[in-house]
Amino acid sequence: MTSKLAMTPLSPQESALQQHGIFDLVTQLDRQAAKLTGMIPTQSADTIRCHMAVINFYYSNLIEGKRTLHHEIREAQCGHYSDDPVKRDHQIESVAHIRVQKWIQGQELTLKTVCSTAFILTLHRRFYEGLPESLRQLRDENEIVAMVEPGQWRQQNVKVGRHVPPDAKGLASLMEGFCDEYRSARYPGYSRLIGLACAHHRFLWIHPFMDGNGRVVRLWTDALFRAEGLESYGIWSLSRGLARQSSDYKAALAQADYPMQGTNDGRVPGMTRKYRPITVLLLYNAFLAGSLERADAIDLTGMPKRSAIRLLAQLKKEGLLSETSSRSPLKWDIPEYAEPFYFPQLAPGA
């Protein structure tokens, strides 16, 4: 159980991939990702990626059976935490998760660096090192049975449902073999994306950490897909897709993670105000270009200058446009209340 051989099969046989149309699905994924990249300007894409950090955590957390709503997450980002201790803990975890996402986005991602034990351990360390001791405690009923050590492989054997992961003593070498395998030249072309999906599964089968395996593997798989060249990744999210088919996802993992369920949903205010066509045109052009020069925005309205300036001031006040200074271009932005408008059925409460 401590050698790479124990992980076999490392990927499905080619005949099985052909039979179930996996190559066709991967080709479709690659094409649609490239198409999406070409449709959205870089600045607007970066705005969406930044905004989606909260949504991505919401769905990743949902897979863990926890439902921390996005307005609660944003309140935590501003330093405002719930008086309810359970909700507060979930908010603390959300801030830690988003902080790791931001760190990943600032890295130069290559398959060699991402598919390495150093990178995986860093993800785990960065998530857990900011958490209080109470959130690193593993309990059996009311008794503390272990502590999660940030950035360290688990030091004891565990059982996850009916699954018994490999022995803790050989984890360091097993994870080195795991990384060597999935970054190897054995996966050319579209086989690489299939290999990365397989790596996601085998990671959870190994269960290398005492806790946090699900969160870390989703963050890690996000980084893998971006390192492999899916440039539109971050605009769309693996966690969202997995959360929407959570039962199928957990079944496919063959109980490599706990089969948790979510709880009741809540509601947040929506974008109910009706905007004039010229306002929609302004926002649409700001989205397409990423930002608009002020003079261009005024001209685009076709309104008298003072009226146009008032309209722009109102859109800035409402958060639909933003600026870095009084003379900077006006940047397309996404206030929280506009999520259901821009992303129907994406954000919780939409």
Judge if pTM exceeds 0.95: no
Mean per-residue pLDDT of the chain: 83
The pLDDT score that the predictor gives to residue 259 is: 36
With a cut of 60, say whether residue 262 has pLDDT above it: no
**Domains along the sequence of the chain with CATH:** 14-252 (1.10.3290.10), 277-342 (1.10.10)
- What's the average model confidence in pLDDT over 23-34? 86
For 114-147, how does the pLDDT look when each residue is reduced to its tens digit (9 = 90+)?
A: 999 999 999 999 999 878 888 888 887 778 888 8
Instruction: Kindly tell me the sign of the dihedral angle through the C-alpha atoms of 10, 109, 123, 83.
Output: negative
* Sheet with 321-322, edge to edge strand ranges: 291-292, 330-332, 321-322
The pLDDT score that the predictor gives to residue 273 is: 62
Please, is 294 exposed, middle or buried when counting C-beta atoms within 10 Å of its C-beta (0-12, 13-18, 19+)?
middle
CB 231 within 8 A of CB 300: no
CB 166 within 8 A of CB 202: no
Q: What are phi and psi of 250, to 5 degrees?
A: -65, -35
The Cβ of residue 65 has, within 10 Å, a number of other Cβ atoms equal to 13
Q: Which helix (H) or strand (E) holds 332?
A: strand 330-332
The Cβ of residue 312 has, within 10 Å, a number of other Cβ atoms equal to 20
CB 87 within 8 A of CB 191: no
Side chain identity at 99, as an amino acid letter? R
Which tokens sit at 121? Answer: 């351990």
Beta-carbon contacts of 323 under 8 Å, excluding residues fewer than 6 positions away, are 316, 329, 330, 331
Side chain identity at 44, as an amino acid letter? S
For 263-284, how does the pLDDT look when each residue is reduced to its tens digit (9 = 90+)?
A: 322 234 455 566 788 888 889 8
- What's the average model confidence in pLDDT over 282-291? 88
Confidence band of 176 (pLDDT split at 50, 70, 90): very high
With a cut of 60, say whether residue 261 has pLDDT above it: no
The pLDDT score that the predictor gives to residue 162 is: 76
Helix axes 191-206, 213-227, angle to 10 degrees: 160
For 196-219, how does the pLDDT look when each residue is reduced to its tens digit (9 = 90+)?
A: 888 998 998 899 999 999 889 999
Side chain identity at 289, as an amino acid letter? A
Beta-carbon contacts of 150 under 8 Å, excluding residues fewer than 6 positions away, are 124, 125, 126, 127, 128, 129, 136
For 1-20, how does the pLDDT look when each residue is reduced to its tens digit (9 = 90+)?
A: 555 666 667 777 777 788 88
CB 138 within 8 A of CB 210: yes
Which tokens sit at 153? Answer: 């492989």
